[in-house]
Amino acid sequence: MSGRLNLFQAMMVRWRALHPYNAVHVVRVNQPLDRGRLEREINDELRELGLTGFVLERDRQRFRFEGGPAGVVLRVTACGEYPENVLRSEMEAELNASFAVEGPMHPFRFFAVDGGGSFDLGLAYDHFLAGGDSIAVVLGSIVDRYLGGVTADRIARPLDVYPETFVRLFLQQATTVLRGVLSLPRIMSSCRRSFRPPAAAADDDANGFVHFRGEEGELAALIQTGKEWGVTLNDIFLAAALLALSPLAAARTKAPRRRELAVASVVNIRPELQPEPRRTFGQCLASFRVSHLVPEGINLRKLAQDIHVETDRIKRSKLYLVTLLAIGLAGLLWPRLSDRQRRGFFFKHYPVWAGVTMLNINAYWTRPGIANPPIEYLRTASTGPLSPIVFALTTAGDALQVGISYRRSAFSRRTIEDLAARFRSSYRGALQ
């Protein structure tokens, strides 16, 4: 048996031909590291879940899991004197390390940063294969297994690894999609008004990575603030990203036409497809973009409320489905483009300065008989040709972790560290 790549997965496979398109999840395990036992648990768990023997048929846009031993070799690094720097370096290295282009391959890599009394367990994976929700479920099951917990109620054995593509969803939502197509002129007009991000070097798509952890109580306070403002937590973070990015795009204020600043939000459409992540492994992602002039002096509340008007319209009209169709059309053009044109295609025609992706670990780790969500859960994803920056926001327990990946040929680490500080300052200002 085999499965077919959906529209988003097929585009990701095209992107990874230019540069690795990976994602990395890391969880803190509050027990000493037993390398041999952890490696055995990982291999046994992947085999029991049916996540071994992966084969990608790139040209046919199909894949299959043939089973057999997992063959995972755990890579271990000592945390040393500066554990945060070691973890950052490990995650950055995994973002830039290739998986096989096609054929038989290991789509998962595991690593650990040993801190003595505890360790950070990392899982790097080929991003086209799965969304963050599936990875959170699998990684949680591995951690429970290592800690001696009960995993039977958490996850099916084996998982369904061949979820349906989006064809049935499009048919079920045909009227909505057709209405959305009528909005394409509006989307195209917004793209023509949007300031383009800096073009990265044509032959250097390498990613850098920085991260920070929110302070205790910040997440709960932000959720309450969102309720008071009538906006979502995602609206607040989209607005904070725009405020943080604005100084990098200061030249737009003098541009004759392209004066708006745009960011994209990743959407998990799994609820509409209805394959529960504890039963079905895979990727069910879409996205949408929002743009704004971000005038000097605008505060977070006003910007978040402006953004909410747009995101609410997009969600009600399900315009993220139209984005999937647009990605499919871009796929038809892809073979006609050179590598240089492919790298700049979205920057030119669909300008987005950053992508924002949120994942609530609590939704997948809180189960009867299962350990509470970890306080430390960090993740990141490759930037790819869609945007030169990605904000990966992860909530676990009552904590917020922010990972920011960026195109190194477009921005320096110092520039992104300053961006991270502005982003944090923007949303913290709402809590004063």
If you search the block for the tokens 């972790």, which residue do you land on? 401
The better pLDDT of the pair 178, 422 is held by 422
- Single-letter amino acid code for the residue at 184: L
Tokens at 329, concatenated: 């059309």
Q: How far apart, in whole angstroms, are the C-alpha atoms of residue 89 and residue 44? A: 28
> Residue 171: is it exposed, middle or buried by C-beta count within 10 angstroms (0-12/13-18/19+)?
exposed
Residue 121, pLDDT score: 98
Q: What's the count of helices (H) and strands (E) in the chain, helices before strands?
A: 15, 15
113 neighbors 90 (Cβ within 8 angstroms): yes
Query: Cα 76 vs. chain centroid, distance in angstroms?
Result: 25
Please give the full DSSP string across 331-387, using - where no structure is assigned. HHHGGGS-HHHHHHHHHHHS--SEEEEEEETHHHH--TTSPPPPS-EEEEE--TTT-
The DSSP secondary structure of 237-294, one letter per residue, reads HHHHHHHHHGGGGGGGGG-SS--BEEEEEEEE-HHHH---TTTB-S--EEEEEEEE--
DSSP string, 382-420: --TTT-SEEEEEEEETTEEEEEEEEETTTS-HHHHHHHH
Lowest mean pLDDT among 186-190, 325-329, 373-377: 373-377
Going by pLDDT thresholds of 50, 70 and 90, the confidence category of residue 397 is: confident
pLDDT (tens digit, 9 = 90+) per residue, 269-326? 999 988 899 999 999 999 999 999 999 999 999 999 999 999 999 999 999 999 999 9
pLDDT of 103 over the 70 cut? yes
What residues form DSSP beta bridges with 286?
267
Bridge partners (DSSP) listed for residue 64: 55
Q: In the CATH scheme, what architecture does the domain 167-431 have?
A: 2-Layer Sandwich (3.30)
Distance of CA 109 to the CA centre of its chain: 17
Q: Is the pTM of this model over 0.85?
A: yes
- Domain locations in the chain as residue ranges: 3-146, 167-431
pLDDT digits (tens, 9 = 90+) for 230-246: 999 999 999 999 999 99
Q: How many CA atoms within 13 Å lie on the side-chain side of 137?
A: 23
* Amino acid at the residue 196: R
**CB of 385 closer than 8 Å to CB of 11:** no
pLDDT for position 275: 86
How far is the C-alpha of 286 from the C-alpha of 166, rounded, in Å?
11
What single-letter amino acid sits at 285?
L
Architecture of domain 3-146: 2-Layer Sandwich (3.30)
Q: How far is CA 97 from the centre of its chain?
A: 17
Residue 21 banded pLDDT, cuts 50, 70, 90: very high
- % residues pLDDT > 90 (the chain): 82
Residue 151 clears pLDDT 70, i.e. is over it: no
pLDDT category at 203 given cuts 50, 70, 90 is confident
> Comparing 3-146 with 167-431, is the CATH topology the same?
yes
pLDDT confidence of residue 232: 97
User: Cβ(156)–Cβ(137) under 8 Å?
Assistant: no
Quick check: helix, strand or coil at residue 327? helix
